[in-house]
Amino acid sequence: MKICIPVAEFRGPDSVVYGHFGSAPGFVMADTETMNIEPLANSDRGHAHGQCSPIKALAGASPDAVLVGGMGMGALRGLRSQGIRVFGCAEMTVSEAIRRFTAGELNELDENATCSGHSHGNHCH
């Protein structure tokens, strides 16, 4: 399974999960079967609040799931419209997020858990 995780800085499995999808400097693309982890720049970082284009941000990458500390409702809806599931994880490393995801320990985000803006820095909740 291919998963995408926003990060502030690429450090492979030791990268720290960034708290907000849309304003993340970049992403980690990970394959849970091979444990291959690659960096991916955020191609839509400079958008105005509410105008995030998650598919543009992922530069055409097609993950099966996104693991994130938080995201806005537009990004959540955009990812879901592409069949991409979104799960919450915060304040952990990429390796921990992947471990918890594969163990079924992360909750899928719904619209009640979305962020209301970028002013919170890199943490939504």
Domain coordinates of the chain in residue numbers?
Answer: 2-113
Check residue 53 and give its pLDDT. 57
Check residue 41 and give its pLDDT. 84
CA distance 74 to 52: 7
Superfamily of domain 2-113: Dinitrogenase iron-molybdenum cofactor biosynthesis domain (3.30.420.130)
Three-state SS for 63? coil
Q: What is the pTM of this model?
A: 0.83
Q: Is the pLDDT of residue 120 over 50?
A: no
Instruction: List pLDDT tens digits, range 29-43.
Output: 999 999 899 998 886
